[in-house]
Amino acid sequence: MTRVHPAGSDVPGVPHTFAGGDLDRSAHLRSDRERIAELLAAGSSRFLPFRELDPLVEVEPQPGLGWVPRVALENIVDVESAALFLGVEADGARFAISVPETVRDGDLGPSTASFQPVREVAPLLSIPDASVAALGRSLTAWHAVHGYCSKCGAPASVDEAGHARRCTDVLCDSVQFPRTDPVVIMLIHRDEQCLLGRAIRTRRYPPGLHSCLAGYVEPGESIEEAVRRETWEEAGLKVSRVRYHSSQPWPFPSTLMIGCFAEALRGEVRMDSSELESVRWFTQLELREAVERWDEAGALRVPPPLTIAHQLARAWLAERSV
Helical ranges in 42-126 per DSSP H: 79-82, 118-121
pLDDT at 289: 94
pLDDT score, position 10: 44
* pLDDT at residue number 3: 38
For the chain, which ranges sit under pLDDT 70? 1-14, 202-203, 322
For residue 253, cis peptide bond before it (omega within 30 degrees of 0): yes
Q: Would you say 317 and 288 are in contact if contact means Cβ atoms under 8 Å apart?
A: yes
> pLDDT tens for residues 208-224?
899 999 999 999 999 99
CA torsion 312-317-320-322 (nearest 10°) is -100
Alpha helix (H) residue ranges in the chain: 33-41, 79-82, 118-121, 127-144, 223-235, 284-292, 308-320
Give CATH for domain 181-320: 3.90.79.10
